[in-house]
Amino acid sequence: MGRVSQLPVVLATRAELEAWHRSHSERRAVVMTMGALHEGHLALVDAALRVASTVIVSIFVNPLQFGPGEDFDAYPRTLDADVRALAGRGVAAVFAPSAAQMYPGGRPSVRVVPGPVGEVFEGAIRPDHFSGVLTVVLKLLALTRPDVALFGQKDAQQLALIRQMARDLNLPVSVVATPIVRDDDGLATSSRNRFLSASQRQAALALPQAIDSGAAAAAQGAGVDEVRRIAGERLARAGDEVSVDYLDVVDSQTFTPLAEGVADSSQALLIGAIRVGGVRLIDNAVLER
Ligand code: PAF
């Protein structure tokens, strides 16, 4: 079989994964996903293949990170299409466990506590979300045993927390981030974009446009208050279909809002989250200062 059509082996149980480990001792990278793969995931896979000879992709819709009333049941589950999307890219294996494989005793009683960074912005709106994310990420690191784990910059707060967990718990893994991948209209790729109608998608473009206008202002020397004002004005013009959860300029590690005129060496992030219909979208940009 040629490389172009080569499908990764699909491992559905921890025992299959364990057997796979025994025949793969090379430098390994993991790309963790919840499936419904899009260009953003494929960019992570390509980046993984640049840093490791063996790449494993996990696909697991993690119940622990969804709150009551969130879209766990509706979250797209497209395993066959996902495995086909990975064909020929050089991925060695897909680990696609069931919930019973991941949580054999039901919801685990021991979980990761994210700390203060996990309590603001996404964490304030989605209580327990980051505890669920960090718990599954830690379990997937233990199961897949990678040298490198790659995560997208789009989920900037998740990325900051995974980095902090790796530092605080001395995890033997390098965490690598990849840039946001955008569709031609500017919307950041997301598995949830498929739920947007054409008019909702049009309305949702207010978010990347707000982020882009704020980032452009920062690149021209605007202070953080001016960046907030410019980005906020664009979001305010979005119309009734869009509701804004937050828009702010924060330190990229602590997620503390940055104050005007305070000199610091932190990396500044413009972050935003909106809802359009039932779909929640997030976006961000690193600010040049
Ligand atoms: O970013 C995601 O898709 C998920 O939060 C992750 C990291 C795969 C954990 O379930």
pLDDT tens, 228-284? 999 999 999 998 999 999 999 999 999 999 998 776 777 999 999 999 999 999 999
- Tell which one of 77, 137, 163, 282 to mutate to probe ligand 1, the residue whose CB is within 8 A of the most ligand atoms: 137
The residue whose C-alpha atom lies closest to atom 3 belonging to ligand 1 is 33
Distance CA 244, CA 276 (A): 9
Residue 133 has pLDDT above 60, yes or no: yes
Q: From ligand 1's centre to the CA of 133, what distance in Å?
A: 6
Whose C-alpha lies nearest to ligand 1, atom 9? 133
Q: Whose CA is nearest to atom 2 of ligand 1?
A: 33
**The pLDDT value given to residue 260:** 87
- Residue 174, pLDDT > 50, answer yes
Question: Is the beta carbon of 137 within 6 A of some atom in ligand 1?
Answer: yes
Q: Which amino acid is at 151?
A: F
Ligand 1 pocket, residue 32 CB under 6 Å: yes
Encoded tokens for 221 = 């020397």
pLDDT in tens, 1-35: 444 468 999 999 999 999 999 999 999 999 999 99
- Per-residue tokens: 59: 């696909």
* Pocket probe mutation, ligand 1, options 58, 62, 157, max atoms within 8 Å of Cβ: 62
- Token couple for 29: 């990278």
CA separation for the pair 244, 280 (Å, rounded): 10
Q: How confident is the model at residue 72 (pLDDT cuts 50, 70, 90)?
A: very high
148-152 and 268-276 as β-strands: parallel, antiparallel, unpaired?
unpaired
Tell the burial category of 26 from Cβ atoms under 10 Å away from its Cβ (0-12, 13-18, 19+): exposed
Active site residue 41: yes
Q: What is the pLDDT of residues 77-94, one digit of tens each?
A: 999 999 999 999 999 999
Closest-lying ligand 1 atom to the alpha carbon of residue 65: 10
User: Is any ligand 1 atom within 6 A of the Cβ of residue 250?
Assistant: no
Q: Is the pLDDT of residue 76 over 70?
A: yes
Please state at what angle helix 129-144 crosses helix 14-22, rounded to 10 degrees: 40
Across residues 165-177, what is the average pLDDT?
98
Summarised one tens digit per residue, pLDDT across range 179-227 is 999 999 999 999 999 999 999 999 999 999 999 999 999 999 999 999 9
Q: Is the CB of 153 under 6 A from ligand 1?
A: no
Q: What is the pLDDT of residue 1?
A: 40
Q: Is pLDDT of 69 > 60?
A: yes
Is residue 62 lining ligand 1, measured as CB closer than 6 Å?
A: yes
- Among residues 24, 38, 41, 129, which one is catalytic? 41
Residue 114 neighbours by CB under 8 Å, 6+ apart: 123, 130, 131, 134, 161, 165
Identify the pLDDT of residue 289. 77
For the Cβ of 155 lying below 6 angstroms from any atom of ligand 1, the answer is yes
38 phi/psi in degrees, rounded to 5:
-135, -175
